Structure 1
Amino acid sequence: MLRNVAVALLDGVNPFELGVVCEVFGTDRTDEGLPAYDFAVASAEGPVLRTEAGFTIRVDHGLERLESADLIAVPAGRSFDARSFPPELLDALRRGVARGARVASVCSGVFVLAAAGLLDGRRATVHWRHAEELKRQYPHLTVEPDVLYIDEGPVITSAGTAAGIDACLHLVRKEHGSEVANRIARRMVVPPHRDGGQAQYIERPVPRTGGDTVSDVLVWLQEHLDEEVTVEQLATRALMSPRTFARRFQQETGTTPYRWVLGQRVLLAQRLLEGTDETVDAIAGRTGFGTAAALRHHFVRAVGTTPNAYRRTFRGPEAA
């Protein structure tokens, strides 16, 4: 049973990500019949640490505090994707997993777990802005940038900022059941479980091409996303044979014409859901999906949530 929680801190820690773990596991709610945790923060780099926000915090415990923890949490910090970590901390994390403790990261804290080798062969997530760097540095793990958190046995990783709340509540739910997790969530005034993943928050600019052979066709496509077009029609516009056009398109965009158009239609739908009051049916027509059902199907596959839920997230419940 999860009873003892320690947070491993490094210089440059993010106050919000640290606060997430403190709020879920470090707040005494025993007056409401909720479980209490033996909670502490432990420094890997001396008693005084500077936060990313510019103020300092004093920490009473060193890494020895991790040895008794059932859960060791590592919050995000400044430049964690480009710094080295104390070997003593990495050893402590490895010992924790070896004796049966869980370890969890919030956002870029995942780089610490990866450096300790705890993610080799496992799936992991991180804030979408750090996903490519995590893949580059640690090719032996599988990075999934479109989810809020991933539970891989003793190792839990979460995406950016508030996704740490989702991961912590998931751990509470797993250990103490949904009723306890829901009551803590109500105290925090947050949803006990969020629909979708961080895919809905990822910025997706128009993909750049690796050449200019099909660039004019791409411009035309973006202006006619509501129309049904075939590869043959696009090839004629590009003055190529269909086979040559398909090959050039793949070389310059990294994908097929169908998938490129599908992605751009979803992007347009996102912009319309965020910035207009048009109905989902109207947006389905403007984006070339035809029907609300077709839009919903492709939107859920690409973004991880429904069009109406997406609109509520970005414009509030009244808009939906």
Structure 2
Amino acid sequence: MTQRIGLVVFPGFQILDLVALSVFELANAEAGRAVYELEVLSEHGGPVASTAGVTVDSRAFDRRRFDTLLVAGSTTVPPSSGGLLDFLRRALPRTRRLGSICTGAFVLAEAGLLDGRRATTHWHFARELQRGFPAIKVEEDGIFIQDGPVWTSAGMTACIDLALALVEGDLGLELSRAVARKLVIYHRRAGGQSQFSALLELEPRTDRIQQALDYAKKNLHRNLSVDQLAEVAHLSPRQFSRAFLAETGQSPARAIEKLRVETARILIEEGGQSVDRIAAQTGFSDPERMRRAFHRAFGQPPQSLRRAAARTHAPAM
């Protein structure tokens, strides 16, 4: 049976959110049949302009049923009209999945659909969402969150992770992985995974330091001493340490720990491997050392993050 997927847009929506529909389109191709029927919706129908100035055609709200409705976001907190809010309130009881992308969470919140639920949004707006809607439990560092039939995602490219998770729930892990390969991306990030990246945070200016970081990420299971990294960068250990600190604002040891913790967190949240194995794979000498590093980075042990990820992926009741 074909599932109707609706993406709700409004004047000033973020055009990147349309890529979520590409995930369902490619899922149809991989499945070899029309699993999903895709529609762009708006309150009044017709052309709707994005923040980029590009317009998309849309169909006006009506009383048709949708399997899944997703509300697009914007680069700011999006406007909410009475017609939009009424449409979403009516839709929730008769829609299997209702979700938001990025700041679209503010629209769901204003409609009262996130009260008492866990939710996320773009990290830049997470605290504003929490202040404005205290009945929501905002988890500002999640990629996406499912709470019953309601799904919310972080900003920008997180819409791909959200859509892949929906496809995985419908058609299985292998097909969703095939879609990810078609999109030329790593298979979707775990829902509880951090919105931030240690590598993006470091941003070295020279190729030598970048080369050392690339080597480190591929060899986290090794000791990764300053002498080793300096050799990769073709610098003396003293020159390397000084250049690394000047370019990244961190010592090599601190940066490597961040890379280890970030990689270990991904593996913890994905499940399937023991904590002991993940500790060895990411270069921690033992699980206790990894536990201490997790407390420094996240304020909680690996097991707590694994339980939180499991709750994120728990099926709706």
In 1, the alpha carbon distance for the partners of 2:73 and 2:97 equals 17
Deviations 1:129-150 (A, max 9, x none): 0011101111110000111110
Percent identical pairs in the alignment equals 33
TM-score normalised per structure 2? 0.62
Distance change >3 Å, CA 282–CA 136, structure 1 → 2 = closer
Does residue 7 (structure 1) correspond to residue 2 (structure 2)? The answer is no
Distance change >3 Å, CA 163–CA 20, structure 1 → 2 = same
In 1, the alpha carbon distance for the partners of 2:41 and 2:254 equals 53
Deviations 1:265-293 (A, max 9, x none): xxxxxx97x94997659956xxxxxx865
Q: How does 1:15-26 map to 2 (within 5 A)?
A: 15-17=15-17, 19-26=18-25
Distance change >3 Å, CA 112–CA 125, structure 1 → 2 = same
Contact 1:122 1:152 in 2 (8 A): yes
Alignment gaps of 5+ in structure 1: 205-270, 285-290, 307-320
Match of residue 121 from structure 1: 116
Moved more, 40-49 or 155-164: 40-49
- How many residues align structurally? 228
Alignment gaps of 5+ in structure 2: 202-243, 258-283, 303-317
Q: How does 1:158-237 map to 2 (within 5 A)?
A: 158-194=153-189, 197-201=193-197
In 2, the alpha carbon distance for the partners of 1:24 and 1:136 equals 33
Q: Aligned partner of 1:163: which letter?
A: A
Distance change >3 Å, CA 299–CA 16, structure 1 → 2 = farther
Distance change >3 Å, CA 281–CA 140, structure 1 → 2 = closer
Contact 1:5 1:37 in 2 (8 A): yes
Match of residue 60 from structure 2: 62
Higher Cα radius of gyration: 1
SS in 1 for 2:106: helix
Match of residue 236 from structure 1: none
Residue 16 of structure 1 and its aligned partner are, at CA, apart by 0.6
Distance change >3 Å, CA 199–CA 73, structure 1 → 2 = closer
Distance change >3 Å, CA 296–CA 138, structure 1 → 2 = same
Does residue 77 (structure 1) correspond to residue 74 (structure 2)? The answer is yes
Distance change >3 Å, CA 3–CA 15, structure 1 → 2 = same
Instruction: Identify which of structures 1 and 2 has the higher relative contact order when contacts are C-alpha pairs closer than 8 Å and 6+ apart.
Output: 2
Contact 1:34 1:180 in 2 (8 A): no
- Superposition CA RMSD, Å: 3.4
Residue 74 of structure 1 and its aligned partner are, at CA, apart by 0.8
Q: Aligned partner of 2:171: which letter?
A: H
Residue 201 of structure 1 and its aligned partner are, at CA, apart by 4.3
Contact 1:16 1:161 in 2 (8 A): yes
